[in-house]
């Protein structure tokens, strides 16, 4: 994919360069593994401190500070410490980790080895989704190449530190992106998320040993933090939002794709870089960080107070494109999977599509989620297929409210947030459906295709 002039590429710097391949020689030509060579001569704690100082936040969804996560690891238990790279990339709208794994796998491996060394990790795993079979093969091959050169395995670069990386393939279950579900899956079980407390991975993770679970993009960053220094790294982006982020834009824009950028606004990304809506259309709403995140409506004003007491009053396009900016607008940057809905999209049909997804992907462990997600699928489905009932809007809200916060893992919020936010922002559209058994003017075929739920 062509690099847009407004991008600031750190992680994907070489990925799309002509002639650049996943082979180790390509990576070495660009100075690859030099940072690992430096890292293994450092004090492990000083690497953790540097990552902490950089302000790096997780790129997988929750945005938790990476260095702080590492500092929670129980180092006194006497048990081995594990690191798992979460490459499940299953949040709808997200396709960034795919680029790293397929085009620059050695960057991930170097980042993992630095992170493993810093945390005295005994063994590392890459949990990759089944739907990326070539990605798994590329990683296996890359690990072999890295072992031959002494970057992975026994006595890494003569440092006396040893650590192996194992690639583990999933089998098409969304819930494996949830870190404790992923751990269960890696133990060879159903991916039922674990309850916290006591199962905080940093203390009781894989095989009940201390475990770090980080996203692919997150794990590439320590290379760049050590290379440029935490202070320089922290200068990219606004304070508390340091580093670049790879945004994945799909849906109703002229140039969908992945874009790695520093500080900018949502409008810069969607209108300038992605070219705005298709000719003759308007942007209706944006789901900013993967399908679980609350929707942002175009035309709304996003107002509030900054931590310093000053006030902000943004249109959709003014929202700062980072963790805190999108949070201030009432949603989350999540996994960076941005879905743009233009004015041809029926919001109830889009919700019906997503409820079919969540209903399919609920692990079934918690009653509110297992039953509630199916109810929501059925209600949204009948709503868009001409059998809506007057009470449906309120019923949907009632079901969603009873799921959110009442489940073991955050999947409950992922089901509830779309329902709650789509109705809050587009209530008239839903009421219209409910009052008329469905939108009387609707293009039935188009709605059926969008809901795509049988």
Partner 1 sequence: MTFKKMDLKPETLAEIEAAIPKYPEAQSAVMPLLHAIQKDQGFISNEAAEWVAEKLGIAPINVLSVVTFYPFFRQHKVGKRHIRVCRTLSCAMAGGSKVCDKMLSEFEAELNQVSPDGEVTVEFAECLASCGSAPVMLVDEDLHENLTVEKAKEICDQIKAEGTK
Place of tokens 């750190």: 10
Name the pairing type of β-strands 164-169 and 123-128: parallel
Binding mask 89-118 for partner 1 (x = CB under 8 A): xxxxxxx-xx--------------------
Q: Is the dihedral of CA 240, 246, 251, 255 positive or negative?
A: positive
Identify residues 359-418 at the interface with partner 1 (CB under 8 A). Answer: 360-361, 363
Shortest Å, Cβ 294 to partner 1: 15
Instruction: Give whichever of 10 and 206 is closer to partner 1, judged by the CB atom.
Output: 206
Shortest Å, Cβ 433 to partner 1: 18
Q: Does 356 bind partner 1 (CB under 8 A)?
A: yes
**CA-closest candidate to residue 278, choices 256, 250, 254:** 254
Q: Does 291 bind partner 1 (CB under 8 A)?
A: yes
Shortest Å, Cβ 333 to partner 1: 16
Q: Does 130 bind partner 1 (CB under 8 A)?
A: yes
Q: Does 336 bind partner 1 (CB under 8 A)?
A: no
Q: Does 207 bind partner 1 (CB under 8 A)?
A: yes
Instruction: Give whichever of 16 and 34 is closer to partner 1, judged by the CB atom.
Output: 16
Instruction: Give whichever of 51 and 383 is closer to partner 1, judged by the CB atom.
Output: 383
Q: Is 17 left (phi over 0), alpha (psi -120 to 50) or beta?
A: beta
Q: Does 205 bind partner 1 (CB under 8 A)?
A: no
Contact 332, 288 (CB under 8 A): yes
Instruction: Give whichever of 236 and 384 is closer to partner 1, judged by the CB atom.
Output: 384
Q: Does 168 bind partner 1 (CB under 8 A)?
A: yes
Distant-in-sequence, close-in-space partners of 51: CB < 8 Å, separation ≥ 6: 66, 67, 70, 118, 221, 222, 225, 230
What does the alpha-carbon distance between residue 47 and residue 39 come to, in Å, rounded to a whole number?
A: 8
Q: Does 350 bind partner 1 (CB under 8 A)?
A: yes
Name the pairing type of β-strands 257-261 and 211-215: unpaired
Shortest Å, Cβ 406 to partner 1: 22
Identify residues 219-258 at the interface with partner 1 (CB under 8 A). Answer: 248-252, 256-258
Identify residues 256-285 at the interface with partner 1 (CB under 8 A). Answer: 256-258
Q: Does 353 bind partner 1 (CB under 8 A)?
A: yes
Place of tokens 């006030």: 311
Q: Does 187 bind partner 1 (CB under 8 A)?
A: yes
Shortest Å, Cβ 414 to partner 1: 13
Interaction site with partner 1 (CB under 8 A): 80, 89-95, 97-98, 123, 129-134, 166, 168-174, 185-191, 207, 248-252, 256-258, 291, 337, 339, 341, 345, 350, 353-354, 356-357, 360-361, 363, 448-454
């Amino acid at each position: 994919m062509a690099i847009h002039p407004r991008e600031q590429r750190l992680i994907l710097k070489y990925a799309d360069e002509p002639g650049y391949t996943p082979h180790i020689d390509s990576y070495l030509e660009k100075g690859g593994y030099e940072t690992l060579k430096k890292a293994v001569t450092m004090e492990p704690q000083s690497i953790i401190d540097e990552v902490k100082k950089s302000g790096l936040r997780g790129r997988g969804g929750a945005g938790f500070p990476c260095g702080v996560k590492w500092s929670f690891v129980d180092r006194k238990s006497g048990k081995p410490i594990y690191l798992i790279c979460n490459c499940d990339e299953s949040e709808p709208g997200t396709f960034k980790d795919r680029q790293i794994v397929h085009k620059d796998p050695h960057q991930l491996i170097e980042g993992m080895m630095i992170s493993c060394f810093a945390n005295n990790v005994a063994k590392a795993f890459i949990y990759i989704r089944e739907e990326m079979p070539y990605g798994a093969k590329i990683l296996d091959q890359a690990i072999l190449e890295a072992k031959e050169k002494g970057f992975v395995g026994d006595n890494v670069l003569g440092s006396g530190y040893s650590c192996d990386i194992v690639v583990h393939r999933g089998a098409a279950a969304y819930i494996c992106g949830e870190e404790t579900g992923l751990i269960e899956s890696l133990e060879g079980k159903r991916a039922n998320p674990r309850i916290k407390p006591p199962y905080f991975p940093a203390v009781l993770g894989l095989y009940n040993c201390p475990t770090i679970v980080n996203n692919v993009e997150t794990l590439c960053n320590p290379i760049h933090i050590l290379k440029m220094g935490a202070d320089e790294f922290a200068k990219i982006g606004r304070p508390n939002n340091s580093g670049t982020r790879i945004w994945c834009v799909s849906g109703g824009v002229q140039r969908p794709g992945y874009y790695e950028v520093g500080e900018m606004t949502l409008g810069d990304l969607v209108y300038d870089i992605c070219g705005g809506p298709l000719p003759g259309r308007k942007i209706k709403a944006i789901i900013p960080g993967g399908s679980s995140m609350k929707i942002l409506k175009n035309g709304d004003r996003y107002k509030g107070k900054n931590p310093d007491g000053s006030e902000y009053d943004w249109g959709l396009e003014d929202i700062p494109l980072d963790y805190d900016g999108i949070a201030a607008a009432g949603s989350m940057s999540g996994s960076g999977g941005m879905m743009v809905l233009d004015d041809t999209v029926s919001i109830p049909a889009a919700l019906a599509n997503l409820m079919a997804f969540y209903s399919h992907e609920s692990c079934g462990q918690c009653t509110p989620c297992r039953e509630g997600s199916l109810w929501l699928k059925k209600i949204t489905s009948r709503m868009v297929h001409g059998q809506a009932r007057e009470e449906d809007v309120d019923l949907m809200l009632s079901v969603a409210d009873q799921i959110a916060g009442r489940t073991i893992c955050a999947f409950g919020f992922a089901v509830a947030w779309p329902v709650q936010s789509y109705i809050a922002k587009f209530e008239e559209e839903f009421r219209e459906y409910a009052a008329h058994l469905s939108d009387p003017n609707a293009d039935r075929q188009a709605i059926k295709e969008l809901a795509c739920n049988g």
